[in-house]
């Protein structure tokens, strides 16, 4: 655009306190519209107004200004940055596009990716969680299988005990009465009394080959 042939640009001074205070107090319904055919290119906007008329975020306008893409931007004595319309058009901004709502600071913090160290820790904890969950599922399965096997073994033992009792009753019914007593457990038989030791008889040979005392003498019997 040939700026030399056109009318001299005038900068409209808008007394403001600070850029942030103006952005917070600006009513979206009163945002300036795109200039019509009769408007001049010397119109200026605050950063918030420029973001609304261009359909971009306020941080985008600030990034353009800090990157030198809006060379005509200037700061007022009150600390408010003003953006000329000519700079926005020269940069290729689509003036008149509805601006998206500015994200809240909390949303911007959530949108930021986590630090590499934090991301590695999160990944490690997730892996550990999945491993513990898998071990828990396996332990529950083993306990269930063990419980099923124990219940089955107990049932088989009860069935065999009942079968043995049935066989005993059937066998008892088929056997004669005198023989049934052998199948039925009775009182234990008492052991016979022990024999008393035999008394020594004089003249009788003892077990060691000596003869008992006879008349006050010991006689050794000659072995044949």
pLDDT of residue 51: 87
Q: Which residue has the higher pLDDT, 105 or 89?
A: 89
**pLDDT class for 209, splitting at 50, 70, 90?**
low
Task: Report d(CA 89, CA 224) in Å as an integer.
Answer: 152
Confidence of residue 113 (pLDDT cuts 50, 70, 90): low
The model carries a pTM of 0.28
Statement: residue 93 has pLDDT above 80: no
Residue 99's Cα: distance from chain center in Å? 42
Q: What is the dihedral of CA 10, 16, 18, 22, to 10 degrees?
A: -100
């Amino acid at each position: 655009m040939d700026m030399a042939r056109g009318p001299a640009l005038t900068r409209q001074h808008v007394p403001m306190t600070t850029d942030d205070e103006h952005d917070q107090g600006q009513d979206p319904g009163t945002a300036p519209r795109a200039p019509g055919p009769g408007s001049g290119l010397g119109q200026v906007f605050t950063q918030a107004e420029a973001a609304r008329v261009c359909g971009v975020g306020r941080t985008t306008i600030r990034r353009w200004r800090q990157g030198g893409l809006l060379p005509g931007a200037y700061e007022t004595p009150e600390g408010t940055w003003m953006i000329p319309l000519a700079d926005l058009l020269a940069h290729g901004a689509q003036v008149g596009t509805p601006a998206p709502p500015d994200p809240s600071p909390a949303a911007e913090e959530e949108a930021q990716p986590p630090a590499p160290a934090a991301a590695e820790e999160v990944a490690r904890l997730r892996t550990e969680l999945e491993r513990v969950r898998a071990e828990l599922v396996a332990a529950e399965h083993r306990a269930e299988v063990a419980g099923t096997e124990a219940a089955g073994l107990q049932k088989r033992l009860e069935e065999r005990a009942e079968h043995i009792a049935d066989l005993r009753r059937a066998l008892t019914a088929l056997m004669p009465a005198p023989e049934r007593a052998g199948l039925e457990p009775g009182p234990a038989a008492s052991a016979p009394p022990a024999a008393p030791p035999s008394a020594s008889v004089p003249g009788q040979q003892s077990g060691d080959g000596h003869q008992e005392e006879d008349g006050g003498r010991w006689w050794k019997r000659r072995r044949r």
